[in-house]
Amino acid sequence: MPASQPNTLSKRASKAGEYDVVIVGAGFAGMYMLHRLRGLGLSARVFEQGSDVGGTWYWNRYPGARCDVESMQYSYSFSDELQQEWEWSERYAPQPEILRYANHVADRFDLRSDIQFDTRVERAVFDERARDWSVTTSDGKTVRAQFVVLATGCLSNARMPDFKGLADFTGEVYHTGHWPHEPVDFTGKRVAVIGTGSSGIQSIPIIAEQASQLTVFQRTANFSVPARNAPLSAEERDFFRANYDEIRRMAREEMRNGIYQELPEKGALEETPEQRQARYGARWEKGGLTFTATYNNIALDKAANDTAADFVRDRIAEIVDDPEVAKLLQPNDHPIGSKRICVDTDYYATYNRPNVTLVDVKADPIEEILPNGLKAGGKVHAFDALVLATGFDAMTGSVAKIDIRGRGGRTLNEKWAAGPRTYLGLMSEGFPNLFIITGPGSPSVLSNMIVSIEQHVDWIADCLDYMRASGLDCMEASRAAEDSWVDHVNEVARDTLFPQANSWYMGANIPGKPRIFMPYIGGVGVYRQICNDVAAKGYEGFAMSEAAPVQRAAASS
Ligand code: NA7
């Protein structure tokens, strides 16, 4: 940095226990944030609760765990060497491979030396006089940082259900989001799975192959489409590698959800039933999340949505032999896509196996867990191992676990008691110098997470660079900007079918959680443009303040 340039940020590099930035979490967001900050010459410390990098891919080791976005796209784009050299094995890489990739990135960019593992951030308190944060970790230490970046992940706080008697179950208990590191072998065991979201739907076919008996307890049926997973051919890999520049650009700028795909030009009702059948059939055969992008109004128009939902319900009836079981598996309480659709391998066909039983716990709710099974609707089901595929306190759960105190000692949990409030999903008013990566109010979970992570990290890094160059040391979302952004997020969601589902997008899976549609549904391209415009207008909607003269002097000395 030239000597004349104000250097209000990097003053902290030299003092022990003081950093320009503390990053919470070493998943894909935290790792890339660290890499970018290093490139700016800023000092950063990452605290990670797990014993290694990978975030959600570190914790979610359940059988069959895969990303529902194709690997050639669910991967970093910031380094062309990285994207050219990494060999994804399958269309949807399995969790161990994604975790190996995360480890490769950590090693390749030498990130580990600035990451402290096995350490939870428990508290972060903003000091209004010093305009920095004091961050206390589970090892009892406190460090100071001018900025804190929450890279805590959207699906990182596994939700343990509060079933009566759960603690007294004498067999093995697993949560899909907290799976052991050692292989779990269900061979010859009677296994129960509670939950039929994505984690249940991915793991059930594999558990069914091992277990002597598998009982699936379903409260709500979910829509699932076949993954059509397969090894990637050299030609497929080469196509992406040769065209990555354009593919990534389109995913970022032109696709609503950051996934490169064919975009529909028509609404579902503009075509005849036969034409629709053919189009849905083609997408079904192709497999994957883009099924709900067969037409451009599936998320908007219930009648259009019904045509897609009926198509999937018909496929379920075709695949599942027992009509009663098929009926139970057919979702009928929410529009297709209003909960994240699942992407599976042989899920519905698994119910044709003689060792698999489906139990409807909507009709007969689980009353209690017994030492050797559970009781639902007065009936006892016996099993040796229990798998809880019961999901996450999504989007806000991991932030809420940290005692974050902003201006006037107000906690973020107090501020968010009626639902999260942010400006652009990046900052919350009253909490200066605190950034959230893929926070509520940004496209996050509605998108290819890596596309959204990279966009946020780049925006934050550019912002810190701008602040350094401008002699600024404090930044905060304004109340007015935040209010109007929250209104906009709600307004855009209201025009869609999404609020009709009791989804984790709405916080509806957690008893007592405010029912608010948390992600921004305007699409990643539109959202990126809004964020870029805000930055281009001198970070419009954010209040930024200059470093005190004494701090500037100390910093540049
Ligand atoms: P999800 O999608 O939240 O699924 C959780 C499942 O667990 C869902 O079927 C729930 O039924 C069920 N559940 C939760 N609590 C209970 C109780 N008490 N009794 C019965 N059933 C229960 O989590 P996943 O981990 O599968 O997937 C999360 C995301 O990860 C996924 O969308 C992908 O983006 C990746 P409910 O629907 O609430 O009736």
Mutation pick for ligand 1 pocket among 160, 176, 199 (CB with most ligand atoms within 8 Å): 199
- Cα(436) to ligand 1 centroid in Å equals 25
CB 442 within 8 A of CB 456: yes
CA of 197 to the centre of ligand 1 (A): 4
pTM of the predicted model over 0.85: yes
The band of 10, judged by pLDDT with boundaries at 50, 70 and 90, is low
Q: Does residue 249 carry a pLDDT above 50?
A: yes
Name which residue sits closest to atom 27 of ligand 1, judged by CA. 198
CATH number at residue 505: 3.50.50.60
Output the pLDDT for position 3.
36
In this predicted structure, what is the pLDDT of residue 108?
A: 98
Q: Which of 339, 356, 388 is the last residue of a domain?
A: 388
* pLDDT, average across residues 215-243: 97
Residues 279 and 366 in one domain: yes
Q: Are residues 218 and 355 in the same domain?
A: yes
* Number of CB atoms found within 10 A of residue 483's CB: 13
Q: What is the pLDDT of residues 432-445, one digit of tens each?
A: 999 999 999 999 99
Segment 111-116 shows an average pLDDT of 98
For 521-538, what is each residue's pLDDT tens digit?
A: 999 999 999 999 999 999
Q: Give domain status of residue 240, yes or no.
A: no
pLDDT tier, 60 (very low <50, low <70, confident <90, very high otherwise): very high
Mean per-residue pLDDT for 5-27?
A: 77
Task: Please tell me the predicted confidence (pLDDT) of residue 548.
Answer: 66
Task: Give the Cα separation of 217 and 451 in Å (integer).
Answer: 35
- Is the Cα dihedral 92, 96, 99, 100 positive or negative? negative
What is the rounded CA–CA span in Å between residue 37 and residue 10? 11
363 lies in the same domain as 414: no
Same domain, 336 and 430: no
Q: Is the pLDDT of residue 12 over 70?
A: no
- The pLDDT, as a whole number, for residue 11 is 54
Note whether 207 and 193 are within 8 A (CB).
yes
Cβ–Cβ < 8 Å for 322, 336: no
What is the band of 377 on the pLDDT scale with cuts at 50, 70, 90? Answer: very high
User: Is 405 within the bounds of a domain?
Assistant: yes
Distance 33 CA to ligand 1 centre (A): 30
User: In the structure, what pLDDT confidence band is assigned to residue 13 with cuts at 50, 70 and 90?
Assistant: low
Same domain? 81 vs 140 = yes
The model's pLDDT over 133-163, given as tens digits with 9 standing for 90+, comes to 999 999 999 999 999 999 999 998 999 999 9
Nearest CA to ligand 1 atom 30: 198
Indicate if 526 and 419 belong to the same structural domain.
Answer: yes
Q: Are 178 and 59 in contact (CB under 8 A)?
A: yes
Within this chain, do residues 76 and 91 fall inside the same structural domain, yes or no? yes
**DSSP characters over 485-546:** HHHHHHHHHHTSSGGGS--GGGTTTSTT------S--S-HHHHHHHHHHHHHTTSTTEEEEE
Task: Report which of residues 10 and 84 the model is more confident about.
Answer: 84
pLDDT at 551: 53
pLDDT > 80? residue 264? yes
> For the residues 104-110, what does the mean pLDDT come to?
98
In angstroms, the CA 385 to CA 189 distance is 7
Confidence at residue 1, expressed as pLDDT on a 0 to 100 scale: 36
Among the atoms of ligand 1, which is closest to the Cα of residue 509?
38
- Whether residue 542 is predicted with pLDDT greater than 60 in this model: the reply is yes
Residue 272 has pLDDT above 60, yes or no: yes
Statement: residue 5 has pLDDT above 80: no
pLDDT digits (tens, 9 = 90+) for 385-395: 999 999 999 99
Backbone φ, ψ for residue 181 (5° rounding): -80, -25
Domain that residue 493 falls in: 18-157+394-556
Helices (H), 320-427: 323-329, 347-350, 397-400, 412-415
User: What pLDDT sits at residue 8?
Assistant: 57
**Helix, strand, or coil (residue 125):** strand
Arithmetic mean of pLDDT, 166-188: 96
**198, 287: one domain:** yes
Question: What was the pLDDT predicted at 6?
Answer: 43
Tell whether 199 and 321 lie within a shared domain: yes
What's the pLDDT at 446?
Answer: 93
Over residues 29-54, the mean pLDDT reads 98
Looking at residue 7, its pLDDT comes to 47
- Residue 425 is predicted with a pLDDT of 98
List, chain by chain if needed, residues with CB within 6 Å of any ligand 1 atom.
155, 161, 176, 194-200, 219-220, 340, 361, 366, 389-392, 504, 509
> Which atom of ligand 1 is found nearest the CA of 199?
26
CA–centroid distance, residue 223 to ligand 1 (Å)? 12
Q: Ligand 1 centre and the CA of 229: distance in Å?
A: 23
| Whether residue 134 is found in the same domain as residue 211 | no
Q: Give the residue-averaged pLDDT of 311-336.
A: 98
Q: Do 406 and 475 have their domain in common?
A: yes
| DSSP for 71-113, written as a single string | TTTSS--S-HHHHHH----BSS-BHHHHHHHHHHHHHHTT-GG
- pLDDT > 50? residue 557: no
Give nearest CA residue, ligand 1 atom 16.
390
423 in a structural domain: yes
Close Cβ partners of 118 (under 8 Å, ≥ 6 residues apart) = 48, 49, 50, 51
Res. 556: pLDDT tops 70: no
Please say which residue of 366, 388, 410 terminates a domain.
Answer: 388
pLDDT given at position 304: 98
Average the pLDDT over 226-246 and give the result.
97
What average pLDDT does range 112-117 have in this prediction?
98
Please tell me the distance from the alpha carbon of residue 152 to that of residue 231, in angstroms, as a whole number: 32
Give the Å distance between the CA of 89 and the centre of ligand 1. Answer: 29
- Structurally, the chain folds into a number of domains equal to 2
**356 shares its domain with 411:** no
Mean pLDDT, range 41-59, rounded to an integer: 97
The answer, yes or no, to whether residue 4 has pLDDT greater than 50, is no
Give the model's confidence band at 553: pLDDT under 50 very low, under 70 low, under 90 confident, else very high: very low
Average pLDDT over residues 412-425: 96
Domain boundary among 372, 388, 404: 388
Q: How confident is the model at residue 374 (pLDDT cuts 50, 70, 90)?
A: very high
| Angstrom distances, CA of residue 201 to CA of 15, 55, 195, 260, 382 | 50, 21, 8, 25, 21
